[in-house]
A and B are shown apart, each in its own frame.
Chain A
């Protein structure tokens, strides 16, 4: 299957700083990528849909000014958590679609963010 690489796998940052997470499709071009968040003992929840060359579409309740998404190329989307707070500590995971709307999406390995 297609490979999606996410970096870093773990990050610890101080409260008030910003953190950038990268999601790369290694062997295919991804016009659409998705960002999910998972809090402890909860299911993965979609945060936003990232489309190459256009603005991301955010799910209800997700602050677009706090979670900045950039999808500048067909193989890279980034999620920046701005002015991070301890409540932003979570597991963030991305997925990338190989083609059109009915093609399969593949998941990255996730990023464990801890804000201290």
Chain B
């Protein structure tokens, strides 16, 4: 059974700081890994999707890396802004065509102006 862990559970940083969010998973047989953002009381916004054959993906100030063999992914946020404040979720989709995505519990980020 796949388990996804996100550390830290919560993070508070001053504006402008660079930060790293961590995600680890127990079963390396994955199809892809996806990072989402969830604002309070709202749905999910997809940030980055990394296929199992890829090492990293970048979008603007965001960079996500994947080390499948060690079961780890990181989300790097450069020059953080107050608007980045949200909960960041990591989700792992297994290989083999079965679609059950396993989510981590998330890291709640607060960027202080």
Chain A residues packing against B (C-beta within 8 Å): 1, 6, 10, 32, 34, 36, 41-46, 49, 59, 91, 93, 95, 97, 100-102, 104-110, 112
Count CB-based A-B contacts (< 8 Å).
Answer: 53
Residues on A with beta carbons closer than 8 Å to the beta carbon of B31:
102
Give the secondary structure class of A's interface: strand
Q: CB < 8 Å: which of A46, A100, A104 contacts B49?
A: A104
The CA-CA distance from A77 to B91 in the complex, in Å, is 22
30 A–B pairs (Cβ distance < 8 Å), ordered by A: A1-B46, A6-B43, A10-B41, A32-B99, A41-B105, A42-B105, A43-B4, A43-B89, A43-B103, A43-B104, A43-B105, A43-B106, A44-B89, A46-B101, A49-B99, A91-B41, A93-B43, A93-B44, A95-B101, A97-B99, A101-B98, A101-B99, A102-B97, A104-B49, A107-B46, A108-B43, A109-B42, A109-B44, A110-B42, A112-B41
Is B61's beta carbon under 8 Å from chain A?
A: no
The CA-CA distance from A104 to B93 in the complex, in Å, is 10
Considering only residues 78-109 of chain B, those with a C-beta below 8 Å from chain A are 89, 91, 93, 97-101, 103-106
- How many residues from B make CB contacts under 8 Å with A? 22
Q: CB < 8 Å: which of A6, A44, A59, A110 contacts B103?
A: A44
Q: Is the CB of A34 within 8 A of B99?
A: yes
Q: Is the CB of A105 within 8 A of B103?
A: no
Expressed in whole angstroms, the minimum distance between the Cβ of A2 and any Cβ of chain B is: 11
Residues on B with beta carbons closer than 8 Å to the beta carbon of A10:
41
Residues on B with beta carbons closer than 8 Å to the beta carbon of A46:
100-101
Expressed in whole angstroms, the minimum distance between the Cβ of A22 and any Cβ of chain B is: 14
Closest B residue to A100 by beta carbon equals B97
Residues on B with beta carbons closer than 8 Å to the beta carbon of A95:
101
Closest B residue to A42 by beta carbon equals B105
Query: Shortest 5 CB-CB distances between A and B: which pairs?
Result: A109-B43, A101-B97, A110-B43, A44-B103, A43-B105
Closest A residue to B6 by beta carbon equals A43
Complex interface bits, B24-50 against A, C-beta within 8 A gives 1, otherwise 0: 000000011000100001111010010
